[in-house]
Amino acid sequence: MDVHEKRIALVDDYLDRAYLVDEVADYYSGRTVLVTGGAGAIGSNLVIALSGLVGDNGKVLVLDNLSAIKTRDPWNITPLPNVMFVLGDVRSDVDLKRVFKEEPSIVFHLAAFFANQNSIDYSETSAEVDVIGQIKLLEYSKISGLEKFIYASSGCAIYGAYPELPIKEEFISMHLTTPYQINKMTGEMYCNFYNHHYGLPTVNCRFFNSYGPGEVPGQYRNVIPNFIYWAMKGYSLPVTGTGEETRDFTYVLDLVQGLIKAAFYSTAVGENFNLASGKELKIRDLITKVNEATDNKADVVFKERRKWDTKPRLLASIDKARQLIGYEPVVDFEEGFQRNIEWFRDNWEKIEAVADFPPGMSSAVRGVKGICSAGARS
């Protein structure tokens, strides 16, 4: 079984466990669905799941400019007969006309200029992609008479600093600390506007700390793929803070489940809700798990907290998603983490080639010496 076949089998096995009612499969069958950012970690898993749901008479369109992949190679997209990849940008009218010519009835908007530090370093580009690009996509969706527009928001971003835990959807904060956070909040507001003013059926899904097969490491990527990558190379893992910080790490296919259900259930239209695990994990405990799984003996290195990283804990309430769409996390952290490690090992040669850590000082830890230091294996 090659890496693509393993990925398909992993998704198929998950869908069998994911509490999908028969009506969901009937709803997607034969449809044309557009996934922006479909070459990313969440998007590439969603595309596999949708390919099976839409069937031979349906089509999954992927629009991605591959900006998050150093080699600009769509290797993360599983080749499937009913998936059409379009190398394009949500800011481009030409590219949007191309995909809307295929008459999609559902759009999953996952494309984004990811994430916090990247948006600080390139704030104008961040706004162009995450705000202007989304407005363009909403306009085309409105004109085409789209049936559902599902927006990938971020609970880690929009709730700002120091919300009461577990975080519930009604909590609002204007104390946002990066352009990415501001843009994600703005994206939700534009979805709400197009829903209220034009009647476009929009749904805001707020993701929490995604991890799992499909995400490659890099300067602007998430902590788990970076930790696994550094540990597999025998490097010390850097902690920006005390290590007592917690995050609500959510398995990527649990997010895919939430997206699939969000487009199906009419109760989700015009709503916003958290998609998370509903559990928190300390960073120091994550480091222990990573080092044990990779047999990494290097010592942890403590770094100064990043100025924008103001949340000592994150824990989401998922009660609203349970009530509206029947969302229920299926994979606990131990299982999901093991799947992540296996994916790294199966794809290690490709991951090493595309991992993007430019030489020199990282802007994420400016003023601190180095990202990580080499550690000897014993």
Task: Report the CATH number at residue 32.
Answer: 3.40.50.720
pLDDT at 362: 65
From first to last of the 378 residues of the chain, give the pLDDT tens digit.
899 999 999 999 999 999 898 999 999 999 999 999 999 999 999 999 999 999 999 999 999 999 888 778 888 899 999 999 999 999 999 999 999 999 999 999 999 999 899 999 999 999 999 999 999 999 999 999 999 999 999 999 999 877 899 999 999 888 899 999 999 999 999 999 999 999 999 999 999 999 999 999 998 899 999 999 999 999 999 998 899 999 999 999 999 999 999 999 999 999 999 999 999 999 999 999 999 999 999 999 988 887 777 788 999 999 999 999 999 999 999 999 999 999 999 999 999 999 988 876 566 554 333 444 333 332
Tally the C-alpha atoms within 13 A of residue 119's C-alpha that lie toward its C-beta.
Answer: 22
Query: Count H helices, E strands: the chain?
Result: 15, 13
The CB density around residue 286, as the number of other CB atoms within 10 Å, is 23
Residue 365 belongs to some domain of the structure: no
Contact yes or no for 66/83 (Cβ under 8 A): no
pLDDT at 373 (0 to 100): 39
The residues, ordered by sequence, that sit 6+ positions from 80 with a Cβ below 8 Å of its Cβ are: 8, 47, 48, 51, 60
Residues of the domain holding 322? 3-211+252-276+315-331
Tokens for 172, please give them: 């609002």
pLDDT of residue 211: 98
Structure tokens given for 113: 């200029």
pTM: predicted TM-score of the whole model, two decimal places: 0.94
Residue 185: what residue type? M
What phi and psi, each to the nearest 5 degrees, are found at residue 155? -65, -30
Q: What type of residue is 164?
A: E
In a domain, 96, yes or no: yes
- Give the pair of three-digit tokens for residue 20: 């999908």
Helix (H, G, I), strand (E, B) or coil at 276: coil
Measured CA to CA, the distance from residue 140 to residue 146 in angstroms comes to 9
Structural domain includes residue 199:
yes
Residue 180 lies in a domain: yes
Count how many domains the chain has. Answer: 1
| pLDDT at site 181 | 94
pLDDT for the residue numbered 307: 77
Q: Has residue 296 been placed in a domain?
A: no
Q: Is residue 286 part of a domain?
A: no
- Alpha-carbon distances, residue 294 vs 55, 310, 341 (angstroms): 38, 30, 8
Count CA atoms closer than 13 A to 169's CA, side-chain side.
19
Calculate the alpha carbon distances from 329 to 245, 250, 324, 336, 340 in Å: 22, 8, 14, 11, 17
Q: Judge whether 44 lies within some domain.
A: yes
**Cβ neighbours for 266, distance < 8 A, ≥ 6 positions apart:** none
pLDDT score recorded for residue 312: 87
Q: What's the CA gap between 332 and 329, in Å, rounded?
A: 8
| Chain center to CA of 170 | 22
Judge whether 262 lies within some domain: yes
